[in-house]
Amino acid sequence: MTEEPKKNILMALGNPLLSDEGVGVHILGEIEKHIPPPRPFDLLDSGNSSMRVLHNLKGHEKAVFVDCALMGVKPGEMKRFLPEEAFSAKQIQGFSLHEGDLMKTLELAKMLGDLPEQVVIFGIQPASLEPGEKLSPALAAKLAFYTDQIMGEFK
């Protein structure tokens, strides 16, 4: 017997082997440490998998995404977007199983009728995308801030 999905889901996107590209995974880790189950939302490390994102949207009323995003702002700055306020600068032709494009995935979810009523995206400007599992000092210093801001979406 599988557990029914909760109304809300928090998904981290990115690659934790490329420093700040994995900021979402670090945020999930903070939430897991400080907010024990049962949580009022599902948590998912989606990596770079569009299919994993798509599969896990179904059945949720609200989806919150957190990802490293090149936005041309100061490293460590976080912005909150709704899907209609964001765009992808990725040059992926069609739909890729190997490299995720959140905006294309959300479009597909909408076409399939699986897009939650509410979708929120948090983008965090990286300071480093170099190989390594640690966040840059600029992002590591703000980890608690990011976590608090994102958790505010579920109150």
The β-bridge relationship of strands 78-81 and 62-68 is unpaired
Tokens of 120: 């929120």
Q: How far apart are the first and last CA of the chain?
A: 29
Cis peptide before 38 (omega within 30 of 0): yes
pTM of the model: 0.87
* Structural domains of the chain, with CATH: 8-154 (3.40.50.1450)
DSSP-derived 3-state class of residue 122: strand
Along the 155 residues of the chain, how does pLDDT read in single tens digits?
455 657 999 999 999 999 999 999 999 999 999 888 888 899 999 988 888 898 899 889 999 999 999 999 999 999 999 998 876 554 444 444 445 688 889 999 999 999 999 999 999 999 999 999 999 999 999 999 999 999 999 88
**C-beta separation of 113 from 57 below 8 A:** no
